[in-house]
């Protein structure tokens, strides 16, 4: 039947041309190839966005061999182009022939140059395939572009909007339905329907192309005006039969009203039919759940459909909006969708993040739309609880997905091409993917108590246990005695040197896990003023160490005098990057028992640090005068330790300074393998320039072979470990005489 109509049309045209030829004195020669001029080129994907591209165009006659030429070499000669062939078809209700060629086996992330051949008016353009792992993707979301074919002013507006979209240089354009009027009057093959459809594709062909000739692929879904009926019941009419222009002009992965495309591994687009040629319940919802589950590894899953669950103009309780909200929104929330795109209401709209039908800033979904791109605008209802922002303005959305070291960001920017003075609020979303969350936590995790050199000055470090979007953080310390896993800092004792501690944070969420290490330098403890001093009795050398706790400027001055004020040593040094400084010098006098005064100062310090030290025979503050072993307090001396009796140790000491000293005396019993059998200690307050006595008791040591045992005696100048060791003596327990 369709062919008969076509032949009749050609016969009438031929007769008219013949009559004109004979009736017009100056005959007009017909262009025999004009009916096959390629028009209304559109690019879509039926398969992989990385390795395929489908090119569709219209002619007025069938092409015996629908063919395109293509190459990835911009300098290739025409004979070096590859050929690809496709189909040329028509359908009831149109005089157009739709020609389509799918290119396969393409190289990801590559520009291709295309020629649609024609005898006099070939069509040339280029396109670009998706990269394998795109670090940046720019795409446009637009909706409700439908106009009457005779709306000249409206079509100029549509071309302006499309040119503005092309100027953003997007990788593709999502079209969320209502692209023309098919049911504006209900006549399938009417001139007005074809005029509306042709007007859309003519404008797209002319305007949706970049300045350097790259045609932009479109990713469309059907709206309520794109088919013969706005909404259908399940199984009532096949999708391609209800919307023949949509499913014949756009070659998509499916002709059933829903499909999925991936642009790289991290962006998944789910096109849905919100009840126009496919029911938004039943099988459609089951397919959606299966698809959401299948693509959970994708960073971004973005569903788009014409009717949205949270309209800005229509009633919240309308049938198809309610069905979407009832059937699909729970699945979006269950499977971690962050953004949904819709149209239908002819206005600009952005919602608050919504979850469980209420605002949820932490876990909610943002819904954008609402179809105010070209068609007649409507006034949005700003009083609705879920509306963040809305306006009666022509608009589209520019979306930019970027990868940032393992996590992904989606930046959403409203664009008002006809009112550029209007500025709406752009926003960004972070990927809800578990690995993206732990990677963001790893990037943002810092320890504020450390300086640029990794030194900790505080007595504790805040080690957080939670990160971005409730990721878990556990800690391990290479030296838990120095930095515990709760962050407590225990500095090394004086003379034990600084310690480098590795703190390892393990960041987890679900099955995702990463680690991050911090190298922390813990400085040795130098006392309450940040000063430590050592005096060697043998070499008469003095060592002074200071750190950040010593207040004042970076320039440190040291002055040493004797008690009469004669200068023995003077020097100046600068702190290092850690705030530390060190002086070492030697006293050259031969006289012993001399008192020296040491002062350390710095600008900004009100009173210099001052201390005294002596060069005694022991070169320490405490001198041991005698050690007596006995079996009772003040008893007779013994020469051998008896295993079944207490052993008393009487230590007589002299304080060489004028200040009182809390001396520490320790006696340790060792076996022949140098293992400690017992250890005892005593603290004794020795007055300045006075003798002091300490008594220690080693209890009986039955069962021990004492023949090769020995006792070590240690005496410190003070209880604090800052003080130097005054004496260390060794005694064989079978011969306690020195």
Q: 152-167 and 191-207 are packed helices; what angle lies between their axes, rounded to 10 degrees?
A: 30
Residues in the chain, total: 738
pLDDT digits (tens, 9 = 90+) for 434-452: 776 787 789 889 998 888 7
pLDDT of residue 20: 34
With residue 18 as reference, give the H or E element that holds it: helix 2-23
**Band of residue 592 on the pLDDT scale cut at 50, 70, 90:** low
Structure tokens at 241: 């039969």
**Band of residue 618 on the pLDDT scale cut at 50, 70, 90:** very low
CB 113 within 8 A of CB 74: yes
pLDDT of residue 665: 86
**Band of residue 707 on the pLDDT scale cut at 50, 70, 90:** confident
Is the CA virtual torsion 58, 398, 219, 84 positive or negative? positive
> Is the pLDDT confidence value at 505 over 60?
yes
Rounded mean pLDDT, 331-355: 95
Least confident of 45-54, 457-466, 616-625: 616-625
> Is the pLDDT confidence value at 579 over 90?
no
pLDDT of residue 657: 79
Which range in 180-189, 225-234, 312-321 is most confidently predicted, on average pLDDT? Answer: 312-321
pLDDT digits (tens, 9 = 90+) for 661-701: 888 888 888 887 777 788 888 888 888 888 889 999 988 87
> Is the pLDDT confidence value at 709 over 60?
yes
Q: Which residue has the higher pLDDT, 242 or 18?
A: 242
pLDDT of residue 366: 97
pLDDT of residue 3: 29
| Number of Cβ within a 10 Å radius of residue 171 | 21
Q: Give the percent of the chain with pLDDT over 90.
A: 47
Least confident of 172-186, 441-455, 627-641, 722-736: 722-736
pLDDT digits (tens, 9 = 90+) for 369-425: 999 999 999 999 999 999 999 999 999 999 999 987 556 889 999 999 999 888 888
> Is the pLDDT confidence value at 230 over 90?
no
Go through 4-43 and write b for each residue having 16 or more CB atoms within 10 A of its CB, e for each that does not: eeeeeeeeeeeeeeeeeeeeeeeeeeeeeeeebbbbbbbb
Residues 85 and 68: their CA atoms lie apart, in Å, by 7
Find out whether the peptide bond into 370 is cis, omega within 30 degrees of 0.
Answer: yes
Three-class secondary structure of residue 730 per DSSP = strand
Residues 223 and 124: their CA atoms lie apart, in Å, by 31
Q: Give the percent of the chain with pLDDT over 70.
A: 88
Report the mean per-residue pLDDT for the chain.
Answer: 85
pLDDT of residue 57: 98
**Band of residue 127 on the pLDDT scale cut at 50, 70, 90:** very high
Q: How far apart are the first and last CA of the chain?
A: 129
> Is the pLDDT confidence value at 181 over 50?
yes
pLDDT of residue 236: 65
**Radius of gyration of the chain, Cα coordinates, nearest whole angstrom:** 44
CB 137 within 8 A of CB 131: no
Strand order through the sheet with 67-71: 82-85, 67-71, 111-116, 123-128
pLDDT digits (tens, 9 = 90+) for 253-270: 998 889 999 999 889 999
CB 653 within 8 A of CB 664: no
pLDDT digits (tens, 9 = 90+) for 535-578: 766 677 888 888 888 888 889 988 888 877 777 888 889 998 87
Rounded mean pLDDT, 460-485: 92
> Is the pLDDT confidence value at 702 over 50?
yes
Q: Which residues pair with 567 in a beta bridge?
A: 561
Residues 106 and 109: their CA atoms lie apart, in Å, by 9
> Is the pLDDT confidence value at 21 over 50?
no
Residues 562 and 374: their CA atoms lie apart, in Å, by 95
Residues 179 and 427: their CA atoms lie apart, in Å, by 27
Among residues 269, 242, 238, 243, the alpha carbon closest in space to that of 256 is found at 238
Rounded mean pLDDT, 484-490: 93
> Is the pLDDT confidence value at 619 over 70?
no
Question: Domains of the chain by range and CATH?
Answer: 30-132 (2.60.40.380), 135-432 (3.60.21.10), 437-522 (2.60.40), 531-615 (2.60.40.10), 622-732 (2.60.40.10)
Q: What is the DSSP string of 68-106?
A: EEEES-TT--GGGSEEEE-EEE--TT-S-EEEEEEE-SP
Q: What is the DSSP string of 261-326?
A: EESSTTEEEEE---SSSS-SSTHHHHHHHHHHHHTTTSSEEEEE-SS-SS-SSS-TT-HHHHHIII
Helices (H), 81-190: 152-167
pLDDT of residue 643: 80
Q: pTM of this prediction?
A: 0.59
165 φ/ψ angles, rounded to the nearest 5 degrees: -65, -45
pLDDT of residue 714: 78
Among residues 702, 685, 705, 704, the alpha carbon closest in space to that of 694 is found at 685
Among residues 34, 225, 205, 91, the alpha carbon closest in space to that of 145 is found at 225
């Amino acid at each position: 039947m369709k062919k008969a109509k076509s032949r009749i049309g050609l016969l009438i045209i031929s007769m008219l041309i013949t009559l004109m030829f004979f009736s017009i004195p100056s005959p007009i020669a017909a262009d025999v190839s004009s009916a096959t001029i390629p028009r209304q080129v559109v690019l879509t994907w039926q398969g992989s966005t990385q390795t395929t591209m489908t090119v569709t165009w219209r002619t007025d006659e069938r092409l015996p061999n629908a063919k395109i030429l293509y190459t990835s070499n911009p300098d290739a000669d025409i004979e070096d182009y590859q050929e690809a062939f496709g189909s040329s078809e028509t359908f009831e209700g149109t005089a157009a022939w739709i020609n389509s060629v799918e290119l396969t086996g393409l190289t990801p992330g590559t520009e291709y140059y295309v020629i649609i051949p024609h005898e006099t008016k070939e069509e040339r353009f280029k396109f670009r395939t998706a990269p394998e792992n795109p670090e940046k993707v720019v795409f446009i979301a637009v909706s409700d572009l439908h106009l009457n074919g005779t709306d000249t002013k409206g079509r100029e507006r549509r071309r302006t909007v499309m040119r503005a979209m092309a100027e953003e240089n997007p990788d593709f354009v999502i079209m969320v339905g209502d692209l023309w009027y098919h049911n504006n009057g209900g006549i399938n093959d009417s001139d007005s329907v074809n005029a509306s459809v042709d007007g859309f594709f003519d404008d797209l062909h002319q305007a949706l192309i970049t300045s350097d000739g790259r045609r932009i692929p479109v990713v469309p879904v059907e709206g309520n005006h794109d088919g013969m009926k706005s909404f259908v019941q399940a199984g009532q009419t096949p999708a391609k039969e209800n919307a023949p222009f949509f499913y014949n002009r756009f070659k998509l992965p499916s002709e059933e009203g829903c499909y999925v495309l991936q642009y790289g591994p991290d962006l998944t687009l789910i096109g849905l039919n919100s009840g126009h040629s496919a029911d938004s319940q039943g099988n459609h919802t089951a397919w959606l759940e299966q698809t959401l589950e299948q693509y959970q590894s994708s960073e971004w899953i973005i569903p788009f459909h014409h009717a949205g669950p949270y309209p800005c103009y229509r009633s919240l309780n309308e049938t198809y909006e309610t069905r979407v909200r009832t059937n699909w929104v729970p699945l979006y929330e269950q499977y971690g969708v962050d953004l949904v795109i819709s149209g239908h209401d002819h206005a600009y709209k952005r919602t608050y993040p919504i979850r469980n039908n209420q605002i949820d800033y932490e876990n909610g979904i943002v819904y954008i739309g609402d179809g105010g791109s070209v068609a007649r605008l409507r006034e949005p209802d700003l009083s609705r609880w879920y509306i963040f922002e809305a306006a009666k303005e022509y608009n589209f959305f520019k979306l930019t997905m970027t990868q940032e070291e393992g996590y992904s960001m989606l930046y959403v920017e409203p664009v008002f091409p006809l009112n550029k003075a209007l500025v709406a609020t752009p926003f960004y979303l972070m990927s809800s993917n578990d690995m993206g969350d732990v990677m963001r936590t790893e990037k943002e995790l810092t320890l504020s108590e450390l300086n640029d050199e990794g030194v900790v000055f505080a007595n504790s470090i805040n080690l957080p246990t939670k990160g971005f979007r409730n990721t878990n953080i556990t800690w391990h310390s290479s030296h838990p005695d120095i930095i515990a896993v709760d962050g407590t800092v225990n500095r090394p004792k004086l003379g034990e040197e600084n310690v480098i501690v590795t703190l390892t944070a393990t960041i987890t969420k679900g099955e995702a896990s990463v680690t991050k290490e911090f190298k922390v330098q813990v400085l040795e403890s130098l006392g309450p003023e940040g000063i430590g001093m050592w005096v060697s009795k043998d070499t008469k050398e003095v060592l002074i160490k200071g750190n950040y706790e010593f207040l004042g400027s970076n320039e440190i001055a040291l002055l040493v005098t004797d008690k009469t004020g004669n200068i023995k040593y003077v020097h100046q040094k600068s702190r290092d990057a850690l705030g530390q400084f060190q002086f070492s010098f030697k006293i050259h006098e031969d006289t012993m028992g001399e008192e020296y005064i040491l002062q350390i100062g710095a600008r900004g310090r009100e009173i210099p640090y001052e201390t005294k030290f002596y060069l005694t025979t022991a070169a320490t503050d405490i001198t041991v005068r005698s050690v007596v072993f006995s079996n009772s307090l003040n008893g007779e001396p013994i020469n051998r330790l008896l295993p079944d009796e207490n052993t008393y140790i009487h230590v007589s000491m002299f304080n060489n300074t004028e200040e009182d000293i809390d001396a520490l005396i320790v006696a340790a019993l060792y076996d022949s393998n140098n293992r400690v059998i017992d250890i005892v200690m005593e603290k004794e307050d020795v007055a300045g320039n006075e003798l002091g006595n300490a008594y220690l008791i080693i209890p009986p040591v039955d069962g021990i072979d004492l023949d090769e045992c020995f006792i070590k005696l240690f005496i410190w100048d003070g209880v604090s470990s800052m003080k130097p060791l005054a004496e260390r003596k060794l005694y064989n327990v079978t011969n306690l005489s020195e």
